[in-house]
Amino acid sequence: MENEFSYEDYQKTAGWLLSRIEHQPQVAVICGSGLGSLADRVTKAKIFDYSEIPNFPRSTVPGHAGRLVFGLLENKPCVVMQGRFHLYEGYSLLKVTFPVRVFRLLGVDTLVVTNAAGGLNPDFEVGDIMLIRDHINLPGFSGQNPLRGPNEDRFGVRFPPMSDAYDQDLRQSAHNIWKEIKDRRKLQEGTYVMLAGPNFETVAESQMLRILGADAVGMSTVPEVIVARHCGLRVFGLSLITNKVILSYESREKASHEEVLEAGKQAAEKLEEFVSRFVSSIEPVCTK
């Protein structure tokens, strides 16, 4: 399979953006469903619709504004994606992850990924925040991997390790910040599993995912993380638990995207404060 994008395509997009922004970003934040209001906290903002950026796909999902916002978040130079791309929209994983490699060429050293997810862990409540400690890439089991095809050595090695995908030091920093916020709920931590979507899970599938060790389930994030680690970015991930996954045939409840967006709206202020404080605490990666 030939790659859809050449190294020069990524360079073209990065160059187009660099010529139009004032602050070169150190941190990139990808906002999941209903979480895009974080970008409202960016000061000295320079905003681009995805439609005007060379090679960028278009976001088609409700709750994803489809804008790239550059500026300062708590005085930290950053870029915020208001809306991501998904496999279920019909995009290839190379298109889904295209922005991540562009961020690397912009000078970003740390990627923060957020998502709305269903809670599989029975201890989780709607509105909880789960730091992602690890992930299970179910589409990858069937060959759906963003690194499939010829390797681009200028980004990374052919066989990148994923045992340290989510930075441990950043997670510890997040726990310290959460203690300062003093929320009534503790900051959760666990394993995120990705399904291709767009349908929500059957009861049998949900039970299987729990047996596999997953604490939360969603339809995104993992491809971006794989590409970020491939090209040397640090990664910090979190899930907002927007619904409790149906694990019993006796339940009369049904998952819906409207429920996901409403839960995101309810938790927005808490999440924005937490992520803003966290981003401001991120120190640049030291290069030897």
Active site residue 257: yes
- Choice among 10, 50, 81, 86 that is catalytic: 86
- Choice among 7, 37, 257, 262 that is catalytic: 257
Q: Sort strands 234-244 and 129-137 into parallel, antiparallel or unpaired.
A: antiparallel
- Choice among 89, 201, 214, 267 that is catalytic: 89
Active site residue 121: no
Beta strand extents in the chain (DSSP E only)? 27-31, 43-49, 67-73, 76-82, 110-119, 129-137, 188-194, 216-218, 234-244
Structure tokens given for 162? 């994923």
Active site residue 116: yes
- Choice among 220, 230, 267, 276 that is catalytic: 220
Structure tokens given for 98? 């295209």
Contact 222, 192 (CB under 8 A): yes
Most distant pair of Cα atoms in the chain: their distance: 58
Active site residue 81: no
- Choice among 39, 81, 116, 263 that is catalytic: 116
Name, in order, each residue with C-beta under 8 angstroms of 68's C-beta and a sequence gap of 6 or more: 17, 47, 48, 50, 53, 56, 79, 80, 81, 82, 99
- Choice among 7, 23, 45, 88 that is catalytic: 88
Contact 130, 189 (CB under 8 A): yes
Active site residue 196: no
Contact 130, 199 (CB under 8 A): no
Nearest to 203 by CA among 268, 262, 253, 143: 253
Active site residue 23: no
**β-bridge mates for residue 129, sequence order:** 240
Alpha carbon distance 220, 267 (integer Å):
20
Active site residue 175: no
Active site residue 173: no
Active site residue 142: no
Alpha carbon distance 200, 118 (integer Å):
9
Alpha carbon distance 49, 36 (integer Å):
14
- Choice among 28, 39, 165, 219 that is catalytic: 219
**Catalytic residue positions?**
33, 64, 86, 88-89, 116, 219-220, 243, 257
